[in-house]
Amino acid sequence: MPASARRIAVLSDIHGNADALRVALDAAQAAAPDLTVILGDLLTYGAQPLEVLDLLDGFAASAHPQAFISGNHDEFYFRLQAGAEALPYRLALFVEESVHWTRDRIAAQPALAGRYPWRHRHVDGPVLFSHANPYEYGDWSYVANDEACRKAAQTLRAGGHRLGVFGHSHRAFAAKVSPGGVMPLPQRSWQEIAAEETVIINPGAVGQPRGTGLSYLILDLDGPRIRADIRPIEIDLTAQRRAIAAAALTAQTKDRLLSYLEG
């Protein structure tokens, strides 16, 4: 890598899966990043919330440069632990049950809102990092298709950003948006980003796959050139399945949560 380049590791959507987080953290730090961005949604769905928080406590206390970006699920716990009786918007029943189960598991822990140095977004040179999209915080719209990429690219460029890194959908992709359309961004090789182009990358989910497996991102920046590497997390999910199966959740919620881990 050129001496002038900067390397950033991005881990998003951990969702209570400590087994995958441990593997991803170790692998990301082995890549010697200049910064590690935790892109939000630490909890819900997975049945290892205490283990996730223990791992992130250790990481937050380390000397590694880091940024913690809050996501919609983090906001659920901020709200509930502050005394709110209801969640801010309607959720599917299995999601709501998982949120409340997780809330009960972490009840004796320090409040999540004050546990890490949270921010709504992070800007690093030409890159904007936020949990879901480049819009106002609290807008949890997905950037998950060509039309959404074009809209997000307009907002990025209006804010002076050439590259947006967003999670939230749990589906990994890297795309280049230009006046000619939306095209896949080649990975693991240096790419020159033209003046009229905008890049949007989703690192995928560390903890709950939804069609593209578990993954994290290593992003190298060198002036107008970038190199994106969405790396798979190779892990046996047996322990995660067992933890969900053993949790005090309804059979319907367990079945739904386990279905994401199949295949």
Give the HSE-up count for residue 111: Cα atoms under 13 Å, Cβ half-sphere.
11
Which residues contact residue 82 at a Cβ distance below 8 angstroms, ignoring those fewer than 6 apart? 111, 113
The reply to whether 228 falls in a domain is yes
Cβ neighbours around 122 below 10 Å, total: 18
The reply to whether 51 falls in a domain is yes
Count of domains for the chain: 1
Greatest CA separation found in the chain?
54
The reply to whether 111 falls in a domain is yes
Digitized pLDDT (tens) for each residue of the chain, 263 residues in all: 888 899 999 999 999 999 999 999 999 999 999 999 999 999 999 999 999 999 999 999 999 999 999 999 999 999 999 999 889 999 999 999 999 999 999 999 999 999 999 999 999 999 999 999 999 999 999 999 999 999 999 999 999 999 999 999 999 999 999 999 999 999 999 999 999 999 999 999 999 999 999 999 999 999 999 999 999 999 999 999 999 999 999 999 999 999 999 86
Alpha helices, H only, the chain: 18-30, 49-60, 72-81, 93-105, 146-158, 238-246, 251-259
Strands 66-69 and 118-119: parallel
pTM over 0.95: yes
Burial zone of 181 (CB within 10 Å; 0-12 exposed, 13-18 middle, 19+ buried): exposed
Domain that holds residue 225: 6-259
**CATH code, domain with 175:** 3.60.21.10
Q: What does the alpha-carbon distance between residue 146 and residue 198 come to, in Å, rounded to a whole number?
A: 13
Q: Would you mind telling me the total number of residues written for the chain in this entry?
A: 263
Q: What is the CA radius of gyration of the chain?
A: 18
Q: Rounded to 5 degrees, what are φ and ψ at 202?
A: -115, 120
Tokens (6 digits) for 73? 């699920």
- Report in angstroms the alpha-carbon separations of 34 from 120, 199, 202, 220, 250: 20, 21, 19, 10, 43
Burial zone of 187 (CB within 10 Å; 0-12 exposed, 13-18 middle, 19+ buried): middle
pLDDT at site 68: 98
The reply to whether 32 falls in a domain is yes
Residue appearing with tokens 């509930």: 80
Query: Which three-class secondary structure state does DSSP give residue 132?
Result: coil
For the chain, the straight-line distance linking the first and the last C-alpha, in angstroms and rounded, comes to: 35
Type of residue at 199:
V
Q: What does the alpha-carbon distance between residue 204 and residue 210 come to, in Å, rounded to a whole number?
A: 9
pLDDT at site 263: 60
- Average pLDDT taken over every residue of the chain: 97
The reply to whether 1 falls in a domain is no
pLDDT at site 250: 98
